[in-house]
Amino acid sequence: MTHLTIEPSILYVGTPVALLATVNEDGTVNLAPMSSAWALGDVVVLGVGVSGQTAVNLRERPEVVINYPSPDQWKAVERLAPLTAANPVPSHKQDRFRHERAKFTASGLTPVPSELVTPPRVAECPLQFEATVDHAELDAKGNFLIAQARVVRVHAAQEIVVPGTSHVDPAAWSPLIYNFRHYYGLGPELGQSFRTETPR
């Protein structure tokens, strides 16, 4: 195997897409796609651009629903991608983004009430995490807000849950993956970890 030294402009090596639902200052709902999230126990660490509306909302109203779409929902995600609830549109986004507050309408997705937090869930997303932001701070360069969101309730579509358990069936659930700015689903299973709770 020969390796090249490269300088890519992005480092999205392949991470799940999430739709973050937060509440704007006027009570409307912001819905924003992102792919910089990872879980530590019951905490999901979120990385969002500091100038976006999501960052403002997470700091001022620290509740969020982390909705995970399936691969067949990539077009709805992409409809959201060029939209921002920020008004005016931040200067670095003005050439490619447009202002839009009605994100659910624009995406064709459906809001449904959450049980423990104010922002709604996305009905079409098979996996939804209601969460509260316990800690948020800027990254070392001040470009991103890093928020630690403690998950307080999980909703999973019945068809992706192992019957009679609280385990998500990895054979039934496939996240939408953002791979160097292209959308993918998962391929076939290659094997299982010795730590799996859903052995075959």
**176 three-class SS:** coil
**44 three-class SS:** strand
Longest dimension (CA), the chain: 55
Cα(162)–Cα(128) distance, integer angstroms:
16
Give, for all 200 residues of the chain, the pLDDT tens digit: 999 999 999 888 899 999 999 999 999 999 999 999 999 999 999 999 998 899 999 999 999 999 999 999 999 999 999 998 888 888 888 888 899 999 999 999 999 999 999 999 999 999 999 999 999 999 999 999 999 999 999 999 999 999 999 999 999 999 999 999 999 999 888 898 888 888 88
